[in-house]
């Protein structure tokens, strides 16, 4: 997906007397009760600008975006990122900054601005409203009730939680309850395993809210490439007989392999992939051979699996002579899933570096591999099956690196991603 880059222009500069924190990028500071009046005034100004300069305003509104940040730097970064999001047609952005520092007095400070993107050229502009709300002290606990009147009616609410999940997740839980869709980025998690557990239980407590994770979108091309292997009908029998899955994710150096804490490795993408593969293949944790290992400290995981569905059940209707018939009679040993870190300093931590599926059919081994290329933008897929030359392909995965594109994709989705939710719970089970 391609988004044209635009520069963004803000209306309403903050010229008000200093009333504490100043956020010039957030527009004009106004009292909360004057937010709507100020926005109406800004729309009049925009219309007048249009008349004078013959610009055309485009106003197509499809959603409320609530952004929640735990500090001003994160809020600024998120706000800046919106400038590359002109095709989403946000009606209003409500940017909440939770100032959790203990010394801050209880209070609510608000700013408004009208932002515009030039579309096609400077002549045509798309506008959206941005309300920035800085909450401190006791007001933080009332974030949900404070933002409720600021939401545009009759439009869905997307909550983008930009930072790590807080230890006390009651605010997050309350915001989830008023949102139609919640977007997180699990690569921000400082304690990945713990946060996955939190998320899994929050999700169960809020069955009406759809949850999205940038990390899940980041691995979508990898899932697509795995699926493409087995679109080839000749390779399908190997899918049933996969006996080993290896997944590698990047860590900056051996010294940074520990999981948890700032700058540490985050294996969540690898965990999501492993859980997805497990569910898709109908595997379950082996009870006969329960030597699962989680070496969380170094980021290595190892599980023994068995098939949930007996292989023979899948092949009973095959015509005689089909090789899968023989596949069905093959004795299945223990199946392994292995996740391990790979030192790759040039990659951001947590990136997937390798997926390798090994399968044996009629005593011959086939290997399906997706491996990082020489750069961060390409991967090489390869298939090595018996009696066939190796087949390689280079695939561009650069689009998954851009946060704007990930956010844009999430804002286009209305329904729930049941597969993601199922996979998240599966990760929780694997880590249990």
Partner 1 sequence: MPQRSVVEAPNPFREGIRTKESLEPCIMVIFGATGDLTHRKLLPALYNLALEHPLPAGFSVVAFARRPYDDETFRKQALESINEYSRQKPVNPQVWESFAAGIHYLQSDFHDPAGYEKLSSLLSKLDQERGTSGNRLFYLSTPPSQYPDIIQQLGAAGLNRNRKGWTRIIIEKPFGHDLPSARELNRQVGKVFKEEQIYRIDHYLGKETVQNILVFRLANGIFEPVWNRRYVDSVQITVAENLGIEGRASYYEESGAIRDMVQNHMLQLLTLVAMEPPIAFDADAVRDEKVKVLHALQHLSGRDVLTNTVRGQYGPGWVGGHEVPGYLQEPGVSPNSTTETYVAMKTFIDNWRWADVPFYLRTGKHLPKRVSEVAIQFKQAPLMLFKKSDAQGQVEPNVLTLRIQPDEGISLKFGAKVPGSDMQIRSVNMDFFYGSSFVREQPEAYERLLLDTMHGDSTLFTRRDEVEAAWAFIQGILDEWKNESRDTIATYESGTWGPQVADEFIWRDGRRWRRP
Using CB under 8 A as the binding rule, whether residue 337 contacts partner 1 is answered as: no
Per-residue burial over 105-141, b if 16 or more Cβ lie within 10 Å, else e, is eeebbbbbbbbbbbbeeeeebbbbbbbbbbbbbebbb
Determine which residue in the list 247, 381, 407, 428 makes contact with partner 1, applying CB under 8 A.
381
What is the nearest approach in angstroms of partner 1 to the Cβ of residue 210?
12
Closest to partner 1 by CB, 170 vs 317, is: 317
Residues in contact with 309: Cβ distance below 8 Å, sequence separation at least 6, in sequence order: 282
Q: Which of 429, 432, 423 is nearest to 186 (CA)?
A: 423
Which SS3 state, helix, strand or coil, does residue 127 take? Answer: strand
Determine which residue in the list 145, 167, 204, 322 makes contact with partner 1, applying CB under 8 A.
322
Write out the binding residues for partner 1, residues 115-134 only, by CB under 8 A.
119-120, 124, 126
Write out the binding residues for partner 1, residues 4-33 only, by CB under 8 A.
4
Strands (E), 324-403: 335-343, 352-361, 364-372, 378-384, 391-396
Using CB under 8 A as the binding rule, whether residue 235 contacts partner 1 is answered as: yes
Q: Which of 11, 20, 5 is nearest to 57 (CA)?
A: 11
Residues in contact with 250: Cβ distance below 8 Å, sequence separation at least 6, in sequence order: 341, 342, 343, 344, 347, 348, 349, 350, 351, 352, 353
Determine which residue in the list 83, 89, 244, 402 makes contact with partner 1, applying CB under 8 A.
89
Determine which residue in the list 153, 290, 321, 389 makes contact with partner 1, applying CB under 8 A.
389
Residues 316, 46: Cα–Cα separation, whole Å: 69
Closest to partner 1 by CB, 367 vs 413, is: 413
Q: What is the per-residue binding string for partner 1 in 202-221, x denoting contact by CB under 8 A?
A: ------------------xx
Using CB under 8 A as the binding rule, whether residue 280 contacts partner 1 is answered as: yes
**Choices 13-21, 41-49, 289-297, 414-422 (CB under 8 A): range interacting with partner 1:** 414-422
Please give the residue ranges that form the binding site for partner 1 (CB under 8 A). 1-4, 58, 60, 86-87, 89, 119-120, 124, 126, 220-221, 223-237, 239-240, 280-282, 313-318, 322, 324, 373, 378, 381, 383, 388-389, 391-396, 409, 413, 417-420
């Amino acid at each position: 997906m391609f988004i044209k880059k635009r520069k963004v222009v803000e209306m309403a500069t903050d010229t008000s007397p200093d009333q504490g924190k100043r956020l010039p990028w957030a527009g004009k500071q106004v009292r909360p009760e004057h937010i709507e009046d100020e926005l109406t005034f800004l729309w009049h100004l925009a219309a007048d600008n249009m008349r004078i300069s013959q610009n055309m305003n485009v106003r197509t509104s499809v959603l409320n975006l609530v952004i929640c940040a735990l500090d001003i730097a994160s809020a600024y970064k998120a706000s800046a990122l919106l400038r590359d999001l002109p095709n989403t047609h946000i009606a209003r952005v409500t940017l909440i900054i939770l100032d959790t520092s203990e010394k801050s007095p209880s209070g609510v400070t608000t700013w408004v601005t009208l932002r515009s993107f030039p579309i096609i050229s400077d002549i045509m502009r798309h506008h959206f409203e941005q309300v920035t709300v800085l909450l401190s002290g006791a007001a933080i606990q009332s974030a949900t009730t404070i933002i409720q009147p600021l939401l545009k009616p009759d439009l869905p609410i997307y909550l983008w939680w930009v930072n790590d999940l807080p230890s006390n997740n009651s605010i997050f839980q309350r915001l989830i309850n008023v949102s139609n869709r919640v977007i997180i980025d699990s690569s921000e998690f400082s304690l990945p395993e713990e946060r996955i557990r939190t998320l899994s239980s929050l999700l169960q407590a809020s069955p009406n809210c759809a949850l999205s994770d940038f990390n899940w979108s980041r691995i979508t091309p990898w899932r697509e490439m795995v699926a493409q292997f087995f679109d080839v009908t000749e390779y399908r029998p190997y899918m049933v007989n996969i006996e080993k899955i290896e997944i590698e994710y990047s860590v900056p150096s051996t010294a940074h392999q520990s999981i948890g804490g700032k700058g540490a490795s985050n294996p969540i993408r690898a965990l999501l992939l492993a859980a997805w593969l497990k569910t898709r293949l109908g595997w379950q944790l082996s009870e006969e051979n329960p030597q699962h290992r989680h070496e969380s400290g170094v980021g290595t995981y190892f599980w023994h699996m068995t098939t949930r569905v007996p292989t023979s059940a899948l092949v009973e209707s095959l015509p005689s002579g089909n090789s899968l018939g023989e596949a069905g009679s093959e004795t299945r040993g223990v199946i392994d899933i292995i996740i391990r870190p790979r030192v790759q300093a040039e990659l951001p931590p947590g990136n997937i570096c390798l997926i390798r599926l090994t399968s044996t059919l009629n005593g011959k081994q086939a290997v399906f591999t997706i491996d990082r290329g020489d750069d961060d933008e390409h991967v090489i897929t390869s298939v090595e099956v018996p009696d066939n030359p190796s087949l390689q392909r280079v695939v561009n995965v650069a689009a998954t690196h851009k946060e704007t594109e990930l956010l844009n994709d999430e804002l286009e989705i209305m329904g729930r991603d049941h597969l993601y939710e199922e996979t998240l719970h599966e990760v929780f089970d694997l880590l249990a």
